[in-house]
Structure 1
């Protein structure tokens, strides 16, 4: 199955953020991207891999740090 390549605007909509956030991810090389001429495209699979890799689980209640 071929991967879809999304624009920065499409990634922002998918993540529910402004366009600046995916641009920053690309600039800091925190997400896989492809340069097509002067344009940047992000594989859809990279967006779906980014989300669980950066998900922070809540702390358990009742545990006290020593």
Structure 2
């Protein structure tokens, strides 16, 4: 049985993905992932689509709370 997938929206940071997922680009190419990884939201990662921590250096701010 697969682990339930969770996506956590981190304040001023990445999307944290946990669980058994397949990450695919628009052309159908599969990215190699682990059971837990982070996706970039700031657009400045040097390792897109993955988070490289650049959001901290550039002062990325977000309002991820559901309203």
Q: For this structure pair, what is the TM-score category when the shorter chain's length is used for normalisation?
A: under 0.3
Larger fraction in helix: 1
TM-score by length of 2: 0.24
TM-score by length of 1: 0.24
Larger fraction in strand: 2
